[in-house]
Amino acid sequence: MTLAQPIPVTVLSGFLGAGKTTLLRHLLKAEHGLKIAVIENEFSDAGIDTQLLGAEPVQVMTLSNGCVCCTIHTDLTKALFLLLERLDSGEIAFDRLVIECTGLADPAPVAQTFFIDEELRERYILDGIITLVDAANADTHLAQTIAQAQIGFADRLLVSKRDLVDDAAFEALSARLTRINRRAPIRVVEHGKIDLAELLDVRGFNLNADLGGGMSLRPVAPAGHSVDRISSLVLRSDQPLDLDKLSEFMNELLEEHGPQLLRYKGVLSIKDEPRRMVFQGVLKLYGFDWDTEWAEDEKRESVIVFIADELPEEKIRAGFAKISE
């Protein structure tokens, strides 16, 4: 028996009040013909809503349009397997999964879930992390490192409540978001309404030569000393890289700073190799592959983007310089 295509997973992240639930409602009601399963990831220790929800740690409900809602008060992995069991038995049907994280949730464990367990890796594919940013309260939220981490992990940044701030405040926020995450395009979402193409088939975790999620890396304005712990670093070299030295550099970096490296991705020119090498990772988990060949008239340039908590910039720059000598 051949397994069906893996189910694409979208993770919705963002601080309380940023509009995740409104966006989710729009996503579920939109006329897209997709059967979407939603996991509302409550992670409650004791069932505050026990009277409403009953004692079941996982509740699954099918909506009238065929979408499936799953509220969990237990481990995410258990909920993922439960949905697969019900899918395989024919009890429910869905072809996409959206996970709504709580406002204070760190996206890292959610992302890692889809890399660590072999069966989950075969049945689901992490498509993208979408983070909502509340324009009106961004400064307050971004004082917390967890909010910065949610932005650092994102493949798309959706700014809500844009109408509540003036142009200068929006431009300042956009510049700040860019310093934290150079890869993720910024979009404005109005009352949960946005083109579904911005949310689905993002392919943020695909191993391919697209560094910017469909965009080139955005230029960043210098801000002097940043107040944010999380920031981006982009490295470039037009010298072909030595593969052994690259491997040694990455292994040392991950050994010492793996938990700080939220997301990283590279498209690399390797010595004596006509193909591009692409790699990307989340924390200590990373993968690499060979992509298409460089065109004869194309500039062969290596580009790596790191998004990290208290980014060890000097160490990374020095290590990269050695492999591109």
Do 17 and 93 lie in a common domain?
yes
From first CA to last CA, the distance across the chain in angstroms is: 50
Do residue 112 and residue 193 come from a single domain? yes
Task: Give domain status of residue 1, yes or no.
Answer: no
**Whether residue 249 is found in the same domain as residue 179:** no
Q: In this structure, are 174 and 245 located in the same domain?
A: no
Residue 225 inside a domain? The answer is no
DSSP code at position 218: P
- The total number of structural domains in the chain stands at 2
Phi, psi (rounded to 5 degrees) for 174: -60, -40
Q: Tell me if 153 is assigned to some domain.
A: yes
| pLDDT tens-place values along the chain, 325 residues long | 445 789 999 999 998 888 888 888 888 877 777 888 888 865 443 333 444 444 566 677 777 777 788 776 667 888 899 899 999 999 888 999 999 887 777 888 888 889 888 899 999 999 999 999 999 999 999 999 999 999 999 999 999 999 999 999 999 999 999 999 999 999 999 888 888 888 888 988 887 766 654 334 555 555 445 679 999 999 999 999 999 999 999 999 999 999 899 999 999 999 999 999 998 899 988 888 999 999 988 889 999 999 999 988 999 999 998 887 6
Residue-number span of the structural domain to which 237 is assigned: 230-323
Asked if residue 218 belongs to a domain, the reply is no
Write the CATH number for 250. Answer: 3.30.1220.10
Kindly list the strands in the beta sheet with 186-188, ordered across the sheet, starting from the edge strand earlier in the chain. Answer: 58-62, 68-72, 36-41, 96-101, 7-14, 124-134, 156-160, 186-188
Q: Are residues 82 and 164 in the same domain?
A: yes
Q: Residue 9 has which token pair? A: 């997973």
